[in-house]
Structure 1
Amino acid sequence: MKTKQLKNFIKASALAVLMSTSIPTFAQSNQIVAVVDNSVILASDVMQAMTQIQQQYAAQKREVPPQPYFAQMALEQLINRQAQLEQVKRYNVPLDENALNQATLSVAQKSGFKDLNSFQRSLDSKQAGSYAKLRSSIAADLSLERVRQQQVSSRIKISDQDIANFLKTPQGQAALGTQAHVLHLRVSGANAQSVAEQVKLALNDSNDVNAIAKRFSQNGVTVQGADMGMRALADIPAELAARITPLANGQSSELIPSSDGIHVMKLLERKSTEQKVVVPQYQTRHILIKTSEVVNADAAKQIIDNLYQRLQQGEDFATLAATFSNDPGSARDGGSLGWVNLGMMVPEFEAQMKSTAVGQFTQPFESQFGWHILQVTDTRQHDMTQEYQQRIARQMLAERQFDAELDNWLREVRNNAYVEIKDPRLDSKNNASL
């Protein structure tokens, strides 16, 4: 036996011996040990979960929890997972086959396989049905992630005022790349408070921190001054950055008491390193003809072709859109869609929009929504910097709230689930030894 094979055999044998002392014995592997809503958890599920936990602990070089906690912990993880899977059923979360294939391929590649077919043959050659079981587990994980995102995201509420307040904080300013040129003085020793007040007055009128420090360092008081230069707010201690953020250029802060003395700062200049976000926009309008129970595909094509001919003959686009378009949101405004950013429309619509000159209208083209005629009435380069900053702030605030809301949702799902533990040895309320 090769050395590597021998090591793997010894490792597996040691694991089997260790697990034999920690896994409770069951009469049958298909014994039902718990019921969660409309599903059951079998003894074999608990055994497998314990094996996985044991492997995780071994990889992390952690000691396996004592009995009976180990088996109860494994069962609780299974109950939590199954309660969440019941939510997947409840909300009828659809499975994205492309995402499933990609996730499975990622697992295959990490195992040294280039494609799913060879990965499937390898798994099933060792144990029939292994590939299908793995794929089912990955599908469940993807569905769980999707329902978590949907349910937790719906709980996160961020107002425009929340965003405005965040952008004024040091964290918000740091996120936007704000830099500040700051002068800093620290006063320590006896009678520091009164001297610090004089230092602040001097700093209001002068930027020479060294001269100020030398002038007031006397009679048991030490004043230290520094020009901190232009630096990112993210690189300044948070308690000091919070005092800098609201200052105007040339303004000094209030006195800041701390354990090492009293601080006072002056903002000389503030600037942002972020680049402006300027995007092309297209002012557009369109006529949409959809198929319906009374308008089949051929009829819809005939209608849009007829409208195109009328436009070529000089009839007014807005009038035809208001009269015939099946897009009620834009039809009442002469087909106007307002200013449109790239990425807002379906690819077919966007391609026509980008290639149409101002004042011109397109030939009829088809998208998933029906047949269109599109007109571009104007274009511009629009500064979206503020909107971009607000979007970044909203994202950061949402990320802050997500973990807390996720914990709340998981607890609610677990508490609201019907759970019946059939095996008393696995009931955490039962203190009897396994």
Structure 2
Amino acid sequence: MFFIGNTMNFAVFKLLEIREIQEMRKTLGILTGLLFFTLVQVSAQTKSKSLDKVAAVVGSSIILQSEIEMQYSQYLAQGNPADPAIKCSILQSQLSQKILGQQAIIDSVTVTDDQIDGEIERRLRAMSGRAGGQERLETFLGRSLIQYKDEIRPDIKEMLVAQKMQAKITENVAVTPLEIKRYFDAIPKDSLPFFNTEVEIAEIIVYPKLSKEEKEVFHDKAEVLRLRIKGGEDFATLASLYSQDPGSARDGGDLGFMDRSGLVKEFAATAFKLKQGELSSVIETEFGFHVMQVIERRGEQVNVRHILIKTEPTPASLDRAKAHIDSIYTTLADKKMDFGAAATLYSDNNETKYNGGMMLNAENVQSRTTFIPTDKLDPQIFLTVDTMKVGSISKPSLFTAADGKKGYRILSLKSKTGPHQASLDQDFPKIKEVAFEDKNNRTISEWFEKRRKITYIKIDAEFQTCPELAGWTTAKN
């Protein structure tokens, strides 16, 4: 996370590159196994050198050269070309984080131990997944995860405090329609981007529901495994062999530390009720049937391992779902109910049903935009809506979701915007988003400009030629 000291004009850049940026973020979030292993090894080696040169002093804090070198090693491990100038941006980011942290102390901005533990566990789960398990990760780190957690804890705490402080600085930032218009009008007309065809789509999804008798087959499979564990067989081994949760099966069913918000309701209720080492009865969630065991409890977080047996639709349950969605289609076709109301009442997709069935752009979920470029649509959906007219609905069709669940779906094409150059009328949500981000950045920049002037900052001579750090030094040499 880099902070900028000078106000940047994001107008043309953001509008021209909005899709490219989304692809970049997606790409940068995925490291290959080889790059990940290099990252871990280089980071560990760099840290072990404990370089003691002070790169900068910020108020009562110091930034060591070793910290900059470690982040630069991570940059190289991601496959980027060698570029020592990147160290300037790294130091700028660390300076900013220190200033935010010091202001957080003044403003009593804090984070809880649970939040720190949660972030550490989230990172370690991702790292373990890329490394191929906890044991392999420890091998690459050259230390136990307990040691590694203790090492990174201060840095994680500082990062979370800085993020919370930055959020506080911008919590009241908003943009008015007039500000959005002024922002758009300031963009040179010959620099306005060209957008491809975009659509707004609403959906109603009906998943097959199993009867009690149909569920028993899957319940019994989970119960057999529970009895084998109770009889003395190893939980982790059985989870590796039989659990249908691919994310945890390879780790012996271990989910790592999680709070209630990260678990479905039924699962959380049982997980936080069990004692350490206690085996649960078979429980049912939307994912199927689970057997779980608590490994450790820490405050409002629990480390659980589980075995999941997924339920599969039977031919009879699919027939019932088809009959149900056919009746919904008839109601819509006869104009007896609005599509949005029907979605709220009947759809089984909790992500869209409370939004009138409107699908969100998966490439830009944070902005909650409903405008989706046709080249980003699921191929099954594109083939359906490509020939539809605006305002029409599709006939129910069988589909398979990304998680493998089968169901029936009705689509409604709400709007379709042809290829065009950006305009305020057609692209107001996009322009609002980048105008808001620009104002956020200016707010942060202005805040830093004031804080830097009253904070003691001394930067080592090696970094004083960095363009990014011009004007940061306040200490007299």
Q: TM-score when scaled to structure 2?
A: 0.35
Q: TM-score when scaled to structure 1?
A: 0.37
1 or 2 for the larger relative contact order (CA 8 Å, sep ≥6)? 2
Higher strand share: 1
Q: Which has the larger radius of gyration?
A: 1
